[in-house]
A and B are shown apart, each in its own frame.
Chain A
Amino acid sequence: MTLNRIIMGVFGGVGIYLTACSDAPQIEVYTIPAEPAPPESWDLATPFGPEKARYTISEGLIGSVNISMTVLQGDGGGMLENVNRWRGQLGLEPVEGKDLEKMLKPVEALGGEARLVNLTGTSKRSQLEERLVGVIAPQGELTWFYKLMGTPDLVEKSQEGFLGYLPNWR
């Protein structure tokens, strides 16, 4: 009889265990860190080329701006090359390495190496006056490039929200 009891015990035990653990769907409740959201005035847009994310802000007669984020491996070509690329987009002459430091400002919220550049010129694409606020933030093996570009007045208006969102924008 002992063996019978053991057999029934094993059978019943496995059965109860599997029934109890069956994957019948159940409502779950958990807590997660809040996911950062961009400012409400930003509209989601389709990323262009290597960009990872793009937003736009349009304000009727004032104009519009594009906000983009790109991540590249290593230094992504370096600070000087990228600043000159941005200058080229605004029809400005490239600068040399010795003049670069004067143009850059640190962005402490993104780490010691992050730098901000503020440029105004005539956009090669639209042939209108545009302003560009760019942030280059190297971190470990990657470098993040954030760009706010468009009508100067709207760039000025959007700059605070842009810089405020950067530390959470990954």
Chain B
Amino acid sequence: MNNHPLTKLFTSLWLTVGLLLFSLVIIFLGTMAQEPMGLNIAVDRFFKSWLVDSVAFKAACIKTLELLGVQMAPVTPDEVLQEYGFLGVFPGGYLVGTLLLINLVAAYIQRFKWSAQKAGVYMSHIGIITLLLGQIITDVLQVESFVHLERGDRRNYSVSFDDNELIFMLPLEGGTSNRVVSIPEGILKKDSVIKHPELEDLEIKVIRHWANAKPLTAEQLVKLDQEEQGKSQKQVVDQTFEVMNTRITSMEEYLKNNPNAEHRSNLTRVKGRFFEAQSQNIELRELADVLGLVGEMEMQVYGLKEDDKKIVFNDASVRGLIIKIRSFEDQQTIAGLFNNATQGMLRGCKLAEFDSNATDFAQKIKDFPGGAGGKIEENTGKFVKRIRSKAKLYYADTTKGGLGDHFRFMQPLQIGLSQNDRNLPAVVFEVIHKGKWIGTYLASCSSEFVQTVEAGDQSWKMILRPKRHYMDFDLTLVDLKWEKYSGTEIPKNFQSRMVVEDSEESRLVDVKMNEPLRKNGQTFYQYQMNENQIGETVQTVLQVVRNPNWITAYVGCVIVSLGLLYQFLYHLLGFSRKRRQKAEA
């Protein structure tokens, strides 16, 4: 039996060493990947997986190379969150952990020969096996969530940090309880059709899904366009300042080699004005003034004539920048005019109406008594073309539901991967009842508005929200404390005073940083305190950990400790016995 190649492999000490080395590499790469991928995703893809996929591996390698001074484009959030089905390129935590467990068990069985002398070693091994198995089971069964409370808030649920659910809810007879069908966001993929016996005859067909998006009204869409034009303008203004800064630096260099007290003094004044303008949000006219000052200074310092092409305001590229700034400014003005001209008319309007409003606006500008001017007409045409294509791109195209009627557009946002980022997913779906199309609805995590879906003689309540984990007791926050070490911002104590109530008890508890609340298999740790805008501590956040397997870690540690203690005492007693015998002899 001992000569079988499989036995040899799995009982080999080399395998143990190799697997421990792999563990070190996985821990290192997983740590590297936390920055580009976010903590939770990195943990899932490196430690809670059988194989590390190519994107996660690439993210970790790029970050490692960055430490060594090699710069490469990092992986994007879209790449990280794309559908699974990646190629596994490196062993993951589960694979290495399972192989280690098998290696340990096999070696244990092969080498096990009962003797009192080695009983402690065997016991310690059993303890380590318990710890390894316990960790794997905990990874699978443990659920972490959060509960946010302000003074007086009462909650009987905690919410997931990352997971969201689309809820369809029906009141049960008597009206004292609701039947909830919770559809995880993970299955709300484009074109998927969702059916479930508890949804009865309802069928949900997903049209679009956004991992992070902001619902917009038509007015907000125009405002967004105005802001984007402002941002683009700011970028060009910064480029112009950069050019002027280079010109000022060149003049300073020149004056070092060709000293002139008057020029130096004038240049210092211009530089002061330049920095003042750079630090403020100035208008185009003021920017042109500063540009003029720098140009005049160049004329003085270098002795150039006003029409010289070398002067900053005669430079073709700088003129191009100024034209761009002017154009962005015009576009913002036109967007403002459009919002004023359509005041109250855009509320809840569909794409066709929005388009028609935009076209009418262009026509009104054209028909302006006395003429608006070719330039304004041209800018209006540009604006109308852009806003119409933006509206088409962001249009949610819903037909029913309060949320979709109010917010007709969805702005996709950058997906946040860091632990503190909370993405706000949204979904547009069709509801079909007994084969009959009911309507197209929008649901978004950014709104707590509960919508109604009427189907047949039933009235379903529907909402997309962070996944809830209901508890069989209530928590009411009475008070909270956030103490800091005097004169610093370093927290000294976070404390939440709460009433815990269920059918059996009602007691007051204090949850502090190292004193969690344990109740019905859940542990509530003091996690965070939040302040309001005027710096008052108003909200406490508790981390809730539900781990049905919590006992194995303690059992494993106790077995290992007892084994080591036995082994130590066995040798100690043997050693002292020998010494005594030697002394007696």
A residues apposed to B, CB below 8 Å: 1-4, 6-7, 10-11, 14-15, 17-18, 21-35, 52, 71-73, 140-142, 144, 170
When distances are taken between beta carbons in the complex, the residues of chain A under 8 Å from B184 are 25-28
What's the Cα separation between A35 and B175 when bound, in Å? 10
Q: Name B45-102 residues within 8 Å CB distance of A.
A: 94, 98, 101-102
Max chain B CB contacts within 10 Å: which of A4, A24, A52?
Answer: A4
Q: In the complex, are the beta carbons of A31 and B178 less than 8 A apart?
A: yes
Q: In the complex, are the beta carbons of B154 and A170 less than 8 A apart?
A: yes
Q: In the complex, are the beta carbons of A29 and B101 less than 8 A apart?
A: no
Q: In the complex, are the beta carbons of A144 and B179 less than 8 A apart?
A: no
When distances are taken between beta carbons in the complex, the residues of chain B under 8 Å from A26 are 184
When distances are taken between beta carbons in the complex, the residues of chain B under 8 Å from A29 are 179-182, 196, 198
What's the Cα separation between A98 and B537 when bound, in Å? 37
Q: In the complex, are the beta carbons of A31 and B106 less than 8 A apart?
A: no
When distances are taken between beta carbons in the complex, the residues of chain A under 8 Å from B261 are none
Q: How far is the CB of B335 from chain A (nearest CB, A)?
A: 27
Interface majority SS (helix, strand, loop, mixed), chain A: mixed
Q: In the complex, are the beta carbons of A6 and B151 less than 8 A apart?
A: no
When distances are taken between beta carbons in the complex, the residues of chain B under 8 Å from A15 are 98
Q: How far is the CB of B425 from chain A (nearest CB, A)?
A: 13
Q: In the complex, are the beta carbons of B196 and A27 less than 8 A apart?
A: yes
When distances are taken between beta carbons in the complex, the residues of chain B under 8 Å from A6 are 105-106, 109
B21 located at the interface, meaning its Cβ lies under 8 Å from any Cβ of chain A in the complex: no
What's the Cα separation between A6 and B177 when bound, in Å? 50
Pick from A7, A32, A34, A141: contact of B508, CB under 8 Å: A141
Q: How far is the CB of A16 from chain B (nearest CB, A)?
A: 12
User: From B186, which residue of chain A is reached at the shortest CB distance?
Assistant: A25
Q: How far is the CB of A30 from chain B (nearest CB, A)?
A: 5
Q: In the complex, are the beta carbons of A11 and B98 less than 8 A apart?
A: yes
What's the Cα separation between A21 and B139 when bound, in Å? 10
Q: Can you name 6 extra interface pairs (CB under 8 A) apart from A7-B106, A141-B478, A144-B152?
A: A2-B1, A6-B109, A7-B7, A18-B140, A31-B177, A140-B478
What's the Cα separation between A4 and B7 when bound, in Å? 6
When distances are taken between beta carbons in the complex, the residues of chain A under 8 Å from B150 are 52
User: From B109, which residue of chain A is reached at the shortest CB distance?
Assistant: A3
Q: In the complex, are the beta carbons of A3 and B1 less than 8 A apart?
A: yes
What's the Cα separation between A23 and B144 when bound, in Å? 13
Q: In the complex, are the beta carbons of B499 and A25 less than 8 A apart?
A: no
Known contacts A7-B105, A18-B94; A28/B182 CB under 8 A: yes
Q: How far is the CB of A23 from chain B (nearest CB, A)?
A: 8
Q: How far is the CB of A59 from chain B (nearest CB, A)?
A: 21
When distances are taken between beta carbons in the complex, the residues of chain A under 8 Å from B310 are none
What's the Cα separation between A71 and B540 when bound, in Å? 16
Q: Name B191-247 residues within 8 Å CB distance of A.
A: 194, 196, 198
When distances are taken between beta carbons in the complex, the residues of chain B under 8 Å from A24 are 186
Q: Name B123-137 residues within 8 Å CB distance of A.
A: 133, 136-137
B256 located at the interface, meaning its Cβ lies under 8 Å from any Cβ of chain A in the complex: no
Pick from A1, A17, A21, A141: contact of B479, CB under 8 Å: A141
When distances are taken between beta carbons in the complex, the residues of chain A under 8 Å from B156 are 33
What's the Cα separation between A141 and B509 when bound, in Å? 12
When distances are taken between beta carbons in the complex, the residues of chain A under 8 Å from B517 are none
The 9 closest A-B pairs by CB, nearest first: A71-B152, A25-B186, A25-B184, A141-B478, A21-B140, A28-B182, A29-B198, A170-B154, A14-B98
B183 located at the interface, meaning its Cβ lies under 8 Å from any Cβ of chain A in the complex: yes
When distances are taken between beta carbons in the complex, the residues of chain B under 8 Å from A31 are 172, 177-180
When distances are taken between beta carbons in the complex, the residues of chain A under 8 Å from B154 are 170
When distances are taken between beta carbons in the complex, the residues of chain B under 8 Å from A52 are 150, 152-153
What's the Cα separation between A170 and B149 when bound, in Å? 12
When distances are taken between beta carbons in the complex, the residues of chain A under 8 Å from B478 are 73, 140-142
**10 A–B contacts from the bound complex (CB under 8 Å):** A1-B1, A3-B106, A6-B105, A11-B102, A14-B101, A28-B184, A34-B176, A52-B152, A52-B153, A71-B152
B288 located at the interface, meaning its Cβ lies under 8 Å from any Cβ of chain A in the complex: no
Known contacts A27-B194, A73-B479; A4/B6 CB under 8 A: yes
Pick from B6, B136, B181, B198: contact of A14, CB under 8 Å: B136
Q: How far is the CB of A168 from chain B (nearest CB, A)?
A: 11
When distances are taken between beta carbons in the complex, the residues of chain B under 8 Å from A30 are 180, 182, 470
Q: How far is the CB of A11 from chain B (nearest CB, A)?
A: 6
Q: In the complex, are the beta carbons of B4 and A4 less than 8 A apart?
A: yes
What's the Cα separation between A25 and B183 when bound, in Å? 8
When distances are taken between beta carbons in the complex, the residues of chain B under 8 Å from A11 are 98, 102
**B144-166 interface mask toward A, CB cutoff 8 Å, 1 = contact, 0 = none?**
00000011111010000000000
B110 located at the interface, meaning its Cβ lies under 8 Å from any Cβ of chain A in the complex: yes
Known contacts A6-B106, A7-B106; A27/B508 CB under 8 A: no
B497 located at the interface, meaning its Cβ lies under 8 Å from any Cβ of chain A in the complex: yes
Q: How far is the CB of A25 from chain B (nearest CB, A)?
A: 3
User: From A21, which residue of chain B is reached at the shortest CB distance?
Assistant: B140
**B453-485 interface mask toward A, CB cutoff 8 Å, 1 = contact, 0 = none?**
000000000000000001000001011000000
Known contacts A6-B106, A29-B198, A32-B470; A73/B179 CB under 8 A: no
Max chain A CB contacts within 10 Å: which of B102, B133, B198?
Answer: B102
